[in-house]
Structure 1
Amino acid sequence: MINTQQLEFEIYKDLIKKKFISSFSIKYLENLKPYQVSNKIIETQQYINEILNFLAAESIKIENDSDYFSFYNKLMDPYESFTSKDLVIFKNFHTYLRDIKKILTESKQINKLKNILKEIYTFSNLTQEINEKIGNDGTVKSNATAELAKIRKDIQSVSKQLDTILKKILYGKNSDKFIQERTIVIRNDRFVIPCKPNFRQFLNGIIHDLSKTAQTVFVEPSETVELNNKYQSLKIAEDEEIRKIINESITKIKSHRLELSNTISNYEKLIFFLEYALFVKDFDITFPEINDNIKFKKIHHPIIFLHKKEGSIPIDIEFENNKNLIVISGPNTGGKTAALKSLGLNHILAMCGLPLFGQYAEVKIFKNILADIGDNQSLIMDLSTFSSHMVNIKKIIESSDNNSLILLDELGTGTDPKEGAILAVAILKYLVDKGGYIAVTTHFNEVKEFALKNSFAENYAVDFDYETFTPKYNLLKGVLGKSDPILIAKKLKFNPEVIEIAEKLLKEKKGSIEFEIEKINEIKLETELLKKSLENKKAELEEKEKQLEEKIKEFNNKLQQKEEKLLEEAFTLLQKGKNLIKNSKQYSPNEIDKDLKIVSKKLNKIKEKKPKITDIKIGDKILLEKYNKIAEILEIKKDTVYVNLEGIKIELKKSDLIGEKIKNKTFNKKLDIKSDVKKDTSWEINVIGKRADEALSEVDKFIDKAVLSGVNSVYIIHGRGTGILKNIIRDFLKNDPRVKSFRAGTFHEGGDAVTVVEF
């Protein structure tokens, strides 16, 4: 027996339900119960963990399936009737299910989950047949059957005949005297015309309806009665044929009842795992280890965590070695009951295979999780608080065994304190002897001392700030919590004489041994608080160190990119300088060549350090560092690749594939690839009359723009003149890695006054 009610499992479910979209995942959650076998728990953990890994790299859209949820329940009822829109719902849902199955099956992160996916049928033949017969708006298509096509053709023919006759009346002789409005309307599935009350002087017919003012009567002329009868008969035949088409499709769907039932059963699990993973993916979570230990390290109470987020304080608690009793003590509102509930509720979540909010946990599978928490006073049964607790504890004692987790809140309270404390100790001793794991909260010194004296027990105290009167919600191991009613009364500025009397009475009652125990406890408390403080500081330092390492890495990357950019610019400038010097015939280019080699060497050295992306295949997407754009691999050759760079097909060396592989895939998103751009006379630049350095600068920028635009070739117009500008430009093109080849223009292109460049 697992007491989910007192441990607020249903409240936790209600919180999660609000975040879910799928009606099937909500149904699965509502029916979720803790497993009693480890393999089922571990299997669920693996499923959710796989989806979390998938979501870290890719995305998926969950759609509202409430329409299909209703349809599926109708399908299970043999007396339900269906419409064409139900078939559209079936088609849309299983098309959506097919897309989800495809995305997950093709993902590298999904392995174990394929056991569920293979049990999900997509019913492609049925959905295709429905798509051929019924439109997305639920209209049955005329070509669904030959009979329906014939009926609709006849309906169209009869409608035209009726339209011709009625229009003849509407626009005929004397029509102004009896026609209220020149329009054809339908009443009771019959074509009629709106007439004035005096219509019988001019027209024989049957009245089918009146306007609210009775000033308009809707009349079926006697000439159209036979055609209207035929029209009605055809409409009835159409409805019967549509009903036949729908029933045939529903019968086909029901013939796959077994596969459908299996599909929905597995879809429920799949969509629950997906929605739960989507819900927890941005939180710090841990999948608890399943063994014979109970250990929580920085684990949150799930309900408190979802309400308070960063304001929630996790607890550390464990049954270490051979201990099977934990006693939690301390002042009221200090968090004792919350710690007890956290221990129980987190065990329930763990036994459902769900991750816990926090850092680390080990849990044990229990047959029974029994709890007595809160005020169970019953006015109807005439039970006091103490009596109602005793009734519940009696059931717990009877149900408990060595495979039970027992959680008792304020055991023995509500009666004479002395006898209540003795009874509490007796109950604990009995339960410990039965072999269960027990956690109890208390104010009784007798219970704390019982734990202190026995090796199978451990004391925990809730941390409390007596200066501000606020609980800290931490648990301090090995410390006896103090209720401190006199101290609290003193802080609340209670009557000093009363406080003095109380302190005197307390001193008389306490023995010297009790005072010694208190002193030891205070030392333990200081030690535990110091330990907690050091642990927190260590965690802070580790986090700061991690952040610093990331910043250093980011800085080094930026520095490397900047250095590379500067060297590339230097290389280009030197190349331009070399061309200028060469053509001026005034300087020797040897020094420039030397500088070019130095810069080129440094540039190659930087590039060599950068990790190349070598493991590539067609379809891979890479964020290229140089362009800061995403490129998709289209074709792979020996030393080069063709990529789609935001719609532009370009060729790159494999050594230039520097950047980061993109793992994220968007649902149903496609990239359109532009075909090679045709030669266009608009891709030309005229540099006639410009200085050499000015011309080279413009040509350089022009080539950049052309390459990024996906152009195959361009025209550079430099004129004939003395030929100096032409030679400078062509020398520049010889050493440009972007240029595949260049030539003088043909006679029709401008001859030697034009250079045609191919990339």
Structure 2
Amino acid sequence: MVNDRTLRVLEYEKMKEQLQAHAGSTLAKERIEQLHPYRELGEAKEAQNFTAEAAKVIRLRGQAPLGGIRQIHAHVRRAQIGGMLNAGELNEVSDTLYAGRRIRSFILDMTEETVDLPLLEGLVRQIVTLPEIEKQIRDCIDENGVVLDSASSALRGLRQQMRSLESSVRSKLEQYTRSPDQQKRLSDSIVTIRNDRYVLPVKQEYRSSFGGIVHDQSSTGATLFIEPQAVVSMNNELREARVKEQREIERILQELSSYIAEDGEEILVNMNTLTELDFTFAKAYYARDQKAVQPELNDEGRFRFMEARHPLIDPEEMVPLDLELGDEFGTLVITGPNTGGKTVTLKTAGLLTLMAQSGLFVLAEEEAEAAVFSKVFADIGDEQSIEQSLSTFSSHMTNIVDIVKQVDSNSFVLFDEIGAGTDPEEGSALAVSILDYVQEAGGKLIATTHYSELKGYAYNRAGVMNASVEFDVETLRPTYRLLVGVPGRSNAFAISRQIGLPDAIISNAEKEMSTDTKQVETMIASLDEQRKETESVWQEADDLRQEAARLWQELNNAWNEVLQKRDQIIANAEGKAKNEVDKAKAQAEEIIAELKEMQKEGAEIKEHRLIEARRQMEQAAPAMTKKQKQVKQKAQKERTFEVGDEVKVLRFGQRGHIVEKVNDNEFQVQLGIMKMTAKPEEMEKLKSEPAKEPKRQVSTTSTAAPARPELDLRGERYEDAVQRLEKYLDEVVLAGYREVHIIHGKGTGALRKGVKEYLRNHPSIKSTRDGGMNEGGIGNTVAELK
């Protein structure tokens, strides 16, 4: 349950106005007017999943064809009771039928392409296509609402007769306008119409010259609009034809209306379904424009909004907030001076919760969590009531009384400046008691206050956490950063000193402070200094991590270059030596051939001399130096592999081990969760190092392992795969990779197509290609980074 007051103070209705701007029809806008947070987890999850599927459609296709939806409920109901719809109303029915048929085909085509849209598919299958009615209306009525001549043969004949009669009447009257004798009797040489009859503007004094019927006169009475007797009969025939035409049009419209009445219930179902589709896609367009994300919902009273933003505040002015509740603590007390951003924090937490419960995405970073509460209460702002003679304090207490009567373990309560408006001592005591009551009832709570007495509240109670909104004393402006775990400082003395209040006055004021208050302020100042020091150390550690990752990548690239150069030198040397040997052997064969020829011609050459000549030729081959032999033996030893050897795959720079010998020239290597086939020249044998005793960790900071040059997405759902891919690309860009391998497998092709589409549009990707024969083929996309 969320009452109207809570919706108003949390600006839920203003948020809905933003949402309505993304609806394509008045029906969807009316549906948004009725939008209200769901109280059950299952309902909220289904609403979120509808939005997620629509967002997927927009991401893959850019938009959904939802134009042409009209409010036709009244039209259909009138047709069902025998009423006749006019041409414009029939066109609106036709437009709506076409809109339903188009969106149905659009969604079903996507599902046939293996895009998973179970909710939207179920919704569009409720749409009944009625192409016959569409065609009948289109054949009879044009887009401007005019019944066409082709609607019936009778209508075509009547209109041909009308055009012939009109031509005859105008031709007869134009004889008057062209005659010099008659022109002086006319006020203007034109043919005009009065009462659907063609007439001439005749001067008053020449009335008797024309005879016929007077249909009208000018405001001055100087001109009479006369139908000459010569055209009266033709005008009568034209009028009769027009009456027949109108009767035929009414017959056609009545017949079309009867078709709509026959399928009226199906048409109304279509209209309701289209309204729901338009509403769903409005949520998705809103999420896209706001850069919002789908939250993970729970009914455990836990939410986590990192980098949260309020949808009604300009993103250029809004400082993102990190909001968490319900995990380590269920009550958050935000203290500090006014104008520090406490109320914005409160409204952001409340409105994002209501949006999540309404099936809307939230303005936060990925992996956001949101709770579904059965009750949400808010007491925010000055609600002083003159009519009821209530002070600000009384008004707040009246609202708080209603809240504490209904609060339970599935409630979310927001108090702004609790206990304000009365004596500080009594107000702070009352605030503590109210906070205790809500906490004991099990409700989740965020409260803001500027009472210094509440700064120690969190230290005495389990499940309660202090927070404050940071204030820069140097610039005298709030930074709007929420600091969880640090109570707010009043900063009154620091601000006064900064703007020039004499030190003597400040010193006297400090003496007037109680010892307890001074101790609290000193403690808060110490916590603030520790926080800033911790942030500085963390930033330094993160910089060192990034630098280490960069150096590792540089060294790895350099080492790979050394190995490649070494292998190239050995290969060049072996090639050169082989050429020399082949050359020497060829010469030897020539000599032996000559000796055999001489033997045939009678020369006494023994066989053992031929063998000796061959041996001498073989010994004449160039021999390697001792150093060359050592290098070759070492290289050959490093190229000799067995199952279980630890190796490094050179083209990936990754360590792994051999799990299977495929053949004499190929091995299967396990690289993490990926298996690949590699040749001996593509691997380097690694020495296995003995296990070392783990060293005691001295530093509390650590650096993340460098990103691998490949990412395995096989078996992933597309949405999960995209999230992993997006994070992975950020890591490899920071690591300085020039090329990475995205392993998605072949499968049905849906994941491969989605990954390629995402890579094609990523700003850090220069180009992509399918993997080669030894790189997994089309199951692996190789991406070159800019």
Place the TM-score, normalised by the shorter chain, in its bin.
Answer: 0.5 to 0.7
Letter in 2 for 1:340: L
2:515: which partner in 1?
510
Give 1:409 shift: 0.9
In the aligned structure 2, how far is the partner of 1:149 from the partner of 1:549? 85
1:29 equivalent among 32, 35, 58? 32
1:486 to 488, 493, 501: 493
2:489·2:524 contact (CA, 8 Å) conserved in 1?
no
Please state if 1:14 is matched with 2:38.
Answer: no
Change (3 A) 1:478 1:614: closer
Structure-to-structure mapping, 1:247-646, within 5 angstroms:
247-281=254-288, 283-291=290-298, 292-304=300-312, 307-321=313-327, 323-359=329-365, 360-506=367-513, 509-511=514-516, 517-532=520-535
Q: Relative to structure 1, is the Cα distance of residues 536 and 218 closer, same or farther in structure 2, using a 3 angstrom cutoff? A: farther
- 2:198 is aligned with 1:191: yes
Native 8 Å contact 2:309 2:315 kept in 1: no
Alignment deviations for residues 360-411 of structure 1 (CA, whole Å, 9 cap, x no partner): 3222211110111111111221111111111111111112111110111111
User: Are 2:249 and 1:242 equivalent residues in the alignment?
Assistant: yes
- Letter aligned with residue 311 of structure 2: I
Alpha-carbon distance between aligned partners in 2 of 1:389 and 1:447, rounded to the nearest angstrom: 18
Shift of 1:535: 6.5
Aligned match of 1:119: 126
C-alpha displacement of 1:519: 4.5
In the TM superposition, what is the alpha-carbon distance from 1:45 to its structure 2 partner?
2.0
Cα deviation, 1:17-56, whole Å, max 9, x if unaligned, reads 3454432332222211111222222222222222322222
Is the Cα contact below 8 Å between 2:287 and 2:293 reproduced in 1?
no
How many angstroms apart in 1 are the aligned matches of 2:94 and 2:541? 57
Query: Is residue 2:142 matched to residue 1:139?
Result: no
Aligned residues of 1:25 and 1:269 also touching (Cα < 8 A): yes
Structure 1 position 503, deviation (Å):
0.5
> Cα distance 1:613–1:239, how it changes in 2: closer, same or farther (>3 A)?
farther
| Residue 15 (structure 1) shift | 2.9
Does the residue aligned with 1:413 lie in a helix, a strand or coil?
coil
The count of corresponding residues between Structure 1 and Structure 2 is 567
SS at match of 1:308: coil
- 1:314-356 Cα offsets, whole Å, 9 max, x none, are 2223235463221111222121111111111111001011111
CA distance in 2, matches of 1:336, 1:492: 24
CA drift of 1:106 comes to: 1.1
- Cα distance in 1, alignment partners of residues 552 and 200 from structure 2: 85
Match of 1:128 in 2: 135
- Secondary structure of the corresponding residue to residue 88 of structure 1: helix
Q: Distance in 2 between matches of 1:538 and 1:242?
A: 82
Q: Any idea what SS the aligned residue of 2:360 has?
A: coil
* TM-score, normalising length: structure 1: 0.66
Q: Which residue, out of 109, 128, 132, partners 1:106?
A: 109
Among 208, 211, 224, which residue is 2:215 paired with?
208
Other structure's SS at 1:218 match: strand
Amino acid in the other structure paired with 1:115: G
User: Is it true that 1:86 corresponds to 2:89 in the alignment?
Assistant: yes
How much has 1:234 moved relative to structure 2? 2.3
8 Å Cα contact 2:97-2:267 kept in structure 1: no
Q: How far apart, in 2, do the equivalents of 1:160 and 1:308 lie?
A: 65
Asked whether the equivalents of residues 84 and 257 of structure 2 are also in contact (C-alpha less than 8 Å), the reply is no
TM-score using structure 2 length: 0.64
| Distance across 1 between alignment mates of 2:56 and 2:548 | 26
Q: Equivalents in 2 of 1:228, 1:469: separation in Å?
A: 87
**CA-CA distance at 1:63 after TM superposition:** 6.6
Give, in whole Å, the separation in 2 of the partners of 1:548 and 1:16: 48
Match of 1:357, SS state, is coil
Residue 152 of structure 1 and its aligned partner are, at CA, apart by 2.5
| Distance in 2 between residues matched to 1:300 and 1:430, nearest whole Å | 29
CA 1:535/1:151 → structure 2, altered by over 3 Å: closer, same or farther? farther
**C-alpha separation in 2, matches of 1:237 and 1:549:** 91
Give the AA of the match of 1:185.
T
Whole-angstrom distance in 2 between the partners of 1:549 and 1:55: 40
Distance in 1, matches of 2:549 and 2:443, equals 43
C-alpha RMSD of the superposition: 4.1
8 Å CA contact 2:158–2:241 kept in 1: the answer is yes
TM-superposed CA distance for 1:141, in Å, is 1.3
> What SS class does the counterpart of residue 469 from structure 2 fall into?
strand
Secondary structure at the aligned position of 1:195 is classed as strand
The code of the aligned residue for 1:192 comes to: V
- Is the Cα contact below 8 Å between 2:287 and 2:360 reproduced in 1? no
Cα distance in 2 for partners of 1:548, 1:264 equals 62
Output the CA distance in 1 between the equivalents of 2:137 and 2:424. Answer: 75
Q: Aligned to 1:285, what secondary structure does the other structure show?
A: coil
- How far is the alpha carbon of 1:257 from its aligned partner? 3.3
Q: CA deviation at 1:489?
A: 2.5
Q: Judging changes above 3 Å, is the alpha-carbon distance between structure 1 residues 269 and 427 closer, same or farther for their aligned structure 2 residues? A: same
| TM-aligned CA distance change 1:544 to 1:103, over 3 Å | farther
Aligned equivalents of 2:196 and 2:552: distance in 1? Answer: 79
Distance 1:320 1:467 in 2: 35
In 1, the alpha carbon distance for the partners of 2:450 and 2:184 equals: 100
In structure 2, distance between residues paired with 1:218 and 1:621: 75
Q: Provide the rounded CA distance (Å) in 2 between the counterparts of 1:546 and 1:47.
A: 41
Asked if the contact 1:300–1:312 (Cα under 8 Å) also holds between the matched residues in 2, the reply is no
Taking the aligned partners of 1:228 and 1:288, their CA distance within structure 2 comes to 73
Distance in 2 of aligned mates of 1:529 and 1:296: 23
- CA deviation after TM superposition for structure 1 residue 158, in Å: 3.4
Aligned amino acid, residue 380 of structure 2: I
Between the aligned residues of both structures, percent identity stands at 28
Contact in 2 for aligned 1:297/1:361 (Cα 8 Å)? yes
Q: 2:491, 2:37 → 1: CA distance? A: 40
* Partner SS for 2:145: coil
Specify the code of the residue in structure 1 equivalent to 2:54. Answer: I
Equivalences for residues 735-750 of structure 1 within 5 A? none
Structure possessing the higher radius of gyration over alpha carbons:
2
In structure 2, the CA distance between the partners of 1:177 and 1:301, relative to structure 1 (3 Å rule), is closer
Between the aligned partners of 2:327 and 2:166, the Cα distance in structure 1 is: 90
Do the aligned residues in 2 keep the contact of 1:400 with 1:434 (CA within 8 Å)?
A: yes
One-letter identity of the residue aligned with 1:525: D
Q: Tell me, in whole angstroms, the C-alpha distance in 1 between the residues paired with 2:154 and 2:536.
A: 84
Paired position in structure 1 for 2:557: none
Q: 1:428: how far off?
A: 1.4
Cα distance in 2 for residues equivalent to 1:356 and 1:342: 10
Instruction: Confirm or deny: 8 A CA contact 1:476 1:528 kept in the other structure.
Output: no
The DSSP-based 3-state class of the residue aligned with 1:459 is: strand
The residue identity in structure 1 corresponding to 2:420 is: T
What amino acid maps onto 1:31 in structure 2? Q
Q: Is the 8 A contact 1:178 1:199 kept in 2?
A: yes
* Equivalent position amino acid for 2:495 in 1: I
